[in-house]
A and B are shown apart, each in its own frame.
Chain A
Amino acid sequence: MSEPRKLRLLVGKVGLDGHDRGAKVIARAFRDAGFEVVYTGLHQSPETVAATAVQEDVDAVALSILSGAHMHLFPRVIELLREAGAGDIPVFGGGIVPDEDIPALKAAGVLEVFTPGTSLDAAVEWVRSHIRPRRVA
């Protein structure tokens, strides 16, 4: 049996918020855990993030949002992935998201939402157990 393909993740900063501390820290943790990481950089539109996810053929999209615009931005990225025929790319994320918003985000298709205080190891473990390579390399 061949070695399983390395997981390939897109870490995205979507919208106008410039707080990239969390995105960069989690991206490094994913990289140190052995995943391939593509980082979008700041201030990306949902359109750019979805297009990058398709183009880079990633196994999941991790969004970091601290602006309060999560109720618009998460569902919008999911919608655009579906429109691009890539609705099977799971979307998860983290940031300042009030607990009461999480059920609605999950209903909109967000696989998991990590709130402040989540350890890097817990996030890495979650990825290992929930994200699978989308196709055999």
Chain B
Amino acid sequence: MRPAEPRASAGTDREFSTVSGMPIDRLYGPESLGPDWRFEERLGGPGEFPFTRGIHPTMYRGRVWTMRQFAGFGTAEQTNRRFHYLLDHGQTGLSVAFDLPTLMGRDSDDPMCRGEVGKEGVAVDTLADMEALFERIPLDGVSTSMTINAPAAVLFAMYLAVAEKQGVSFDRLAGTLQNDILKEYIAQKEWIYPPRPSLRIITDLLAFCAEQVPRWNTISISGYHIREAGSTAAQELAFTVADGIGYVQAGIEAGLDVDVFAPRLSFFFNSHNDFFEEIAKMRAARRLWARIMKERFGARDPKSWMLRFHTQTAGCSLTAQQPYNNVVRVTVQALAAVLGGTQSLHTNSLDETLALPSEASVRLALRTQQILAEESGVTNTVDPLGGSYFVEALTDRLEAEARAYLARIDDLGGVVAAIEAGFPQREIADAAYRYQREIDGGRKTIVGLNKYVSEDATRPEILKVDEAVERTQVERLRRLRAERGAGAVRASLDALVDGARNGGNLLPLMLDAARAYATVGEICGALVPVFGRYREVSFL
């Protein structure tokens, strides 16, 4: 029996849709789920295949999510002080933001890096900087997430070298390397080599970690940046899972057992403004990945089926206008991530559209998570929205849209071929343009920007990175180059190039170069003659 239609009233001819433009019905009921909908098949219990309701039977009753605020700016010493500040305020994991030169595998004294050193993250050129970054932080007592992609293996080698110096064995290290190069070509655009040699470095790292750093999360397969580049929720889900398929395929082709490396793959999603769409996306992601791992790749270990993920609230949703409104947006987005079952969370600071966040605004963002975890009561039960006709219908819909994209990517020859053809890039650029037009036309509301506009003179205090950072860092690098043993650096780089040519695992060779205080730019640069440099075919 269908419920009666509502009386016609002003506004009912309006189109109701999610922030991604997905149309939403007035009401959802059993008929919305279709005749094939079976509880056991679509949901099951938490901690059971297909994990729609969460990967742990007890979820936040057992342990709340890890509160992990991303931090990094200026020199390693400055960031080290921020890490100690966050740990002292109850943060439970570290997350390193590197500056653009480091993300691009370049040294601070590279002419291309003028004006960028230490601006968006911390500058790391050599092991000496990594040592300063983790000064007085025992690496067996924290879990560390490192947002680094193209040169991920090099920075990871430096982290391993710091552990050695602290006397911490590799098997006690816990943390996550973003190491997701495929989404760089799709969205974030910080690359060095073309996709195929990049995947070889990644499979070397998968093999190395499986043997020596078993608790390390080797790739954080990221939808975050895809969404920030302007994708819809369904595109974020689809392209992220497509990247995941690409890594699993590459690992298997490199001769690795899927159940050896797949349990250490994790994911990273965006949480945008549309509350239910985000929750549905996260639930759909778990179910989709579990099915793909089991059915497509034949994984047998349940840990290979489980999609574990980090969430960051949507930076692109924040406004410079009336910046205190951002606190409310972040709260709603963080709540969606929690109801979506995230394992860890970064809440954005209210001032992030203006500059890097100040200490006070980072603390408020962390407090937002603590209030959700300890005051709101949402952690009391697992998947409280499970069984909602609307949430289940939306979850099904997101999975179906993502599957349609995955089928198109398979038709194009897989994710690398799709990237080379510019397919995901174009889909995202189209969606970003459509969304901007909707905002400009007032069809989508952004409070304080295109509606309820007011002159707001209050500006939060913002953090400025001292221009002297670049000079300090460049001087430090020059001094180090003069003092280190040049012969050992040369020999380690030669061995690395040989390994790249001859197919040996590159990780032990990068570790040797890190120990010799070779720079990020030297190590990454040494491989360019072997692997080549990526050039994007630009289009509008």
| CB-contact partner of A96 in B353, B429, B459, B538, under 8 A | B353
CA distance A18 to B230 in the complex (A): 14
Categorize the interface residue count of chain A: 35 or more
Q: A24, B354: Cβ atoms under 8 Å? A: no
Question: In this assembly, does A87 line the interface, its C-beta being within 8 Å of a C-beta of chain B?
Answer: no
Q: A68, B229: Cβ atoms under 8 Å? A: no
| CB-contact partner of A67 in B120, B320, B321, under 8 A | B120
| CB-contact partner of A116 in B114, B228, B320, B440, under 8 A | B320
Contact code string A2-35 (vs B, CB < 8 Å = 1, else 0): 0000000000000111111100110111010000
| Shortest Cβ gap from A116 to chain B (Å) | 5
Question: In this assembly, does A41 line the interface, its C-beta being within 8 Å of a C-beta of chain B?
Answer: yes
Closest to B228 in A: A21
Within 8 A of A (CB), among B97-127: 100-101, 103-104, 106, 111-116, 119-120
| Shortest Cβ gap from A75 to chain B (Å) | 10
Q: A21, B320: Cβ atoms under 8 Å? A: no
Question: If the complex has contacts A17-B100, A45-B112, A120-B437, are A68 and B119 also in contact, measured as CB distance less than 8 A?
Answer: yes
CA distance A43 to B540 in the complex (A): 16
Contact code string B419-450 (vs A, CB < 8 Å = 1, else 0): 00000000001001100110110000000011
Q: A115, B432: Cβ atoms under 8 Å? A: no
Q: A117, B449: Cβ atoms under 8 Å? A: yes
Q: A69, B355: Cβ atoms under 8 Å? A: no
Q: A120, B440: Cβ atoms under 8 Å? A: yes
Q: A31, B540: Cβ atoms under 8 Å? A: yes
Inter-chain contacts of A17 with B (CB < 8 A): 100, 116, 120
Q: B354, A18: Cβ atoms under 8 Å? A: no
Q: A28, B116: Cβ atoms under 8 Å? A: no
Inter-chain contacts of A25 with B (CB < 8 A): 230, 429, 432-433, 436
Inter-chain contacts of A51 with B (CB < 8 A): none
Question: In this assembly, does A111 line the interface, its C-beta being within 8 Å of a C-beta of chain B?
Answer: no
Q: A16, B436: Cβ atoms under 8 Å? A: no
CA distance A24 to B433 in the complex (A): 8
| Shortest Cβ gap from A134 to chain B (Å) | 23
Inter-chain contacts of B184 with A (CB < 8 A): 18
Question: If the complex has contacts A39-B540, A42-B189, A115-B320, are A67 and B353 also in contact, measured as CB distance less than 8 A?
Answer: no
Q: A98, B432: Cβ atoms under 8 Å? A: no
Q: A67, B100: Cβ atoms under 8 Å? A: yes
Question: In this assembly, does A71 line the interface, its C-beta being within 8 Å of a C-beta of chain B?
Answer: yes
CA distance A74 to B439 in the complex (A): 28
Q: A24, B100: Cβ atoms under 8 Å? A: no
Inter-chain contacts of A29 with B (CB < 8 A): 433, 436
| Shortest Cβ gap from A115 to chain B (Å) | 6
Inter-chain contacts of A37 with B (CB < 8 A): 540
Question: In this assembly, does A72 line the interface, its C-beta being within 8 Å of a C-beta of chain B?
Answer: yes
Inter-chain contacts of B356 with A (CB < 8 A): 68
Q: B112, A28: Cβ atoms under 8 Å? A: no
Interface residues of B (CB under 8 A from A): 100-101, 103-104, 106, 111-116, 119-120, 184, 188-190, 228-230, 316, 319-321, 353-356, 429, 432-433, 436-437, 439-440, 449-450, 459, 462, 465, 467, 536, 538, 540
19 further interface pairs, Cβ-Cβ under 8 Å (given A41-B536, A68-B120): A16-B100, A19-B189, A19-B228, A20-B189, A25-B230, A25-B429, A28-B540, A39-B540, A41-B538, A42-B189, A43-B189, A68-B465, A69-B115, A69-B116, A71-B467, A76-B114, A98-B354, A120-B437, A120-B440
A-B contact pairs, 13 of them (CB 8 A): A15-B112, A21-B316, A24-B429, A24-B432, A25-B230, A25-B432, A27-B540, A28-B433, A31-B540, A39-B538, A68-B355, A73-B115, A96-B355
